[in-house]
Amino acid sequence: MSENQDPRPEDVPAAPATPSAPPVPPLPPTPGASTAPTQPYPGQSFGIPAAQTPEPASTAPARDRRIGTGKVASLLVAAALVGGAAGLGGTWAGSNLWSVADSSPAAGPSVVTVNNTDSVTATTAIAAKVVPSVVTINVSAGSDGGTGSGVVLSKDGYVLTNTHVVTLDGQSATPRISVTTSDGHIYAAKIVGTDPVYDLAVIKLEGATDLAPVTWGDSGKLNVGDQTIAIGAPLGLSNTVTTGIVSALNRSIEIASSAAPGSGGDSNGDNGGQNGDSPFFFDFGQGPQTQRSSESIKIAVIQTDAPINPGNSGGALVDGQGRIVGINVAIASTGSTTSSSQSGSIGVGFSIPSDIAQRVAKEIIDTGAATHGLLGASVRDASSIQGATITGAAIVEVTAGGGADGAGLRAGDVVTAFNGVPVGSAVDLTAQVRAAAAGSKATVTYVRDGASHTTDVTLGTLK
C-alpha cells in the first residue's frame, strides 16, 4: 500500500573565414529554397576553430579542407533539402538553423563532422542545432565520481540535469562539478537546486556567457512513432547522437533513488518488492555500485528506443525539428541491477517529459526548489484486489481535509485517469500527481459501483 500523504510510497561570436580554395559545385537548387552560401567542403567539422584549419588551398587538397562555423548554414539547408523528412522543411531550416552558424563558438574541438555533403540528412541538421546546447557533466566527491549530461537553459549558464547526476545518486550534497561544453570549454559549476521527487536539478556555470540555450518542444503533442534523437555523453563520450522513435507515452516507472526522501514507516508491499527487483536504473556513468537504495521515486516518462546508455542522464531527447521534448533519466536492463556492472542499451530508455521538466526548472531557478502535488489518499493497484475487473489505482483510505476528501473521493473508488492520462496502477497515479504543481487543479476519473465518474481536485503540497 502506498501512503499519498507521505512523501515516499505515495499515491499517487562566428569563426574566422578560412583561406580561399577551389570552389565545390553547389547542391542542385530546390524550388522555394533560399540561396545558401558556398557549400562546405567534404570533411568539414561544425564548430572547428580557426587554429585547427588546414593549410591554404595551394598546399592542401580541396577535399580535405574544413571551414569555420560561418559557412555552416549551407550544409544545414542541404540537410533540410536532402533529409527533408520529419517535418524539417526549408522554411524551418532558414529560421531555426541559420542561428547555429551565427552563435557557434570559434574555439574548441569540432562538434559535428560531415564527410560527404551529398548525403547529409535531417538528423545531421538537428545534431548541428542541438549539440551546442548539451553539455558533459563531471562530478566528484572524495574518491567517488561520475559523468552525466545536461541541457543549457540560458546564455549565462543555467543548465538542467538530473539530481542523481549532481549528487552522485545522493552520496554528496556538496560535490565538485566540472562542465564541458560541446566546443571544449570547461566551467566550474554550483548547484542552484535539486528536486529528488522528479530527479531534476539546475546548476549554474561560473563565468559562462553566450551559451546556446535549447529550444523547448511540447511533449504533450508527441505521438507514438514520432522521431526522437538522444544527445548526451554516454560512457563519457561527449557529443553523442543516437536516433529512434517514441516507443510509448504515458509510461510510469518506479526507480530506486538514494536521493529520495526516506519512506519512514510506510508499507510498500503493494509494489511487490519492486525497489529491489526493478529493471529500471539511472543512466548515469558512475563507478561500481555495491548496493541499491531501498527508497524509490515514481515518475512519468516518455519511452524511446533511441539508444541511451550510462552517462546520457540529464541529456536531451529531441523531436524531428530539434526541439527538446524530454530529459533522459533512466534505462532498463535485462540483467541484475544490484551488481557492480551496468548493462548497455537494450532499446528501452526513458525521458522526463519537457512539460514537467520546464515547470520544475523554472521553479528551481525562481525559488531554489520545486513543488509537487498531493492527493491526500493511500492507494494500491486495483488489479491486486481479488475479483478485480478493471485496472487502476484503488483508493484504500482518504485523508480527512485533503484534496481527495474535498473532491468526494472515498475508499473503494478506482482511479482510472488523471488529467486525461490513463491510470493503470498506483505507480501511474503517484507519478501523475507528483508531476503536477502543488495547489493546482486536476480532473480525476474514477469508477464507483461499476459506474464511471469525474471530479475536480485541488491538490495539496507534498512536504
d(CA 109, CA 76): 19
> Of residues 263, 278, 293, 313, which has the active-site annotation?
313
Please give the class, per CATH, of domain 132-205: mainly beta
Cell numbers given for 285: 556513468
pLDDT reported for residue 105: 38
- Concatenated DSSP letters of 161-221: E-HHHHTTTTT-SS-EEEEE-TTS-EEEEEEEEEETTTTEEEEEETT--S--PPPB--GGG
Backbone angles phi, psi at 115, to 5 degrees: -100, -20
d(CA 311, CA 134): 12
Element (H, E) at 434: helix 426-435
Q: Is the pLDDT of residue 432 over 90?
A: yes
Cell numbers given for 265: 514507516
Q: Between 154 and 333, name the one with better pLDDT.
A: 154
pLDDT reported for residue 430: 96
Strand partners, 380: 394
> Of residues 6, 45, 104, 164, which has the active-site annotation?
164
Question: 146 near 168, Cβ under 8 Å?
Answer: yes
pLDDT reported for residue 293: 58
pLDDT reported for residue 284: 60
pLDDT reported for residue 93: 34
Question: 271 near 256, Cβ under 8 Å?
Answer: no
To the nearest whole percent, how much of the chain has pLDDT over 70? 67
Nearest to 205 by CA among 165, 151, 164, 168: 151
d(CA 58, CA 56): 5
Nearest to 182 by CA among 49, 294, 66: 49
d(CA 65, CA 53): 8
CATH superfamily for 219-362 is: Trypsin-like serine proteases (2.40.10.10)
Q: Is the pLDDT of residue 228 over 90?
A: yes
Question: 316 near 219, Cβ under 8 Å?
Answer: no
What is the pTM (predicted TM-score) of this model?
Answer: 0.75
> Of residues 6, 11, 199, 305, which has the active-site annotation?
199
Nearest to 316 by CA among 330, 306, 326: 326
d(CA 374, CA 280): 24
Task: Fill in the amino acid letter for 51.
Answer: A
Handedness of CA 243, 319, 235, 345 (dihedral sign): negative
Question: 86 near 227, Cβ under 8 Å?
Answer: yes
Cell numbers given for 405: 476528501
Which tens digit of pLDDT belongs to each residue from 233-275? Answer: 999 999 999 999 999 999 999 998 877 765 432 333 233 334 4
Nearest to 12 by CA among 448, 360, 436: 436
- Kindly report which listed range (90-99, 185-194, 325-334, 405-414) carries the lowest average pLDDT score: 90-99
Query: In Å, how far are 133, 232, 315 from 252, measured between CA atoms?
Result: 27, 23, 19
313 catalytic? Reply is: yes
Query: In Å, how far are 271, 281, 392, 452 from 446, measured between CA atoms?
Result: 21, 31, 9, 6
Exposed (0-12), middle (13-18) or buried (19+): which is 313, by Cβ within 10 Å? Answer: buried
d(CA 124, CA 83): 9
Element (H, E) at 405: helix 403-406
132-205 shares its CATH topology with 219-362: yes
Query: In Å, how far are 191, 193, 238 from 175, measured between CA atoms?
Result: 9, 13, 21
Coil, strand, or helix at residue 189?
strand
Domains of the chain by residue range: 13-120, 132-205, 219-362, 371-461
Which tens digit of pLDDT belongs to each residue from 27-77? Answer: 444 444 444 443 333 333 333 333 343 444 444 443 333 333 333 444 444
199 catalytic? Reply is: yes
pLDDT reported for residue 283: 61
What is the mean predicted confidence (pLDDT) over 362-366? 98
d(CA 211, CA 247): 32
pLDDT band at 112 (very low <50, low <70, confident <90, very high): confident
CATH superfamily for 371-461 is: PDZ domain (2.30.42.10)
Q: Is the pLDDT of residue 81 over 50?
A: no
d(CA 97, CA 104): 11
Nearest to 305 by CA among 328, 286, 285: 328
Number of other residues whose CB lies within 10 A of the CB of residue 156: 14
Number of other residues whose CB lies within 10 A of the CB of residue 461: 12
pLDDT reported for residue 277: 58
Which tens digit of pLDDT belongs to each residue from 271-290? Answer: 333 444 556 657 666 654 44
Handedness of CA 309, 300, 276, 147 (dihedral sign): positive
449 catalytic? Reply is: no
d(CA 377, CA 407): 11
Task: Fill in the amino acid letter for 267.
Answer: S
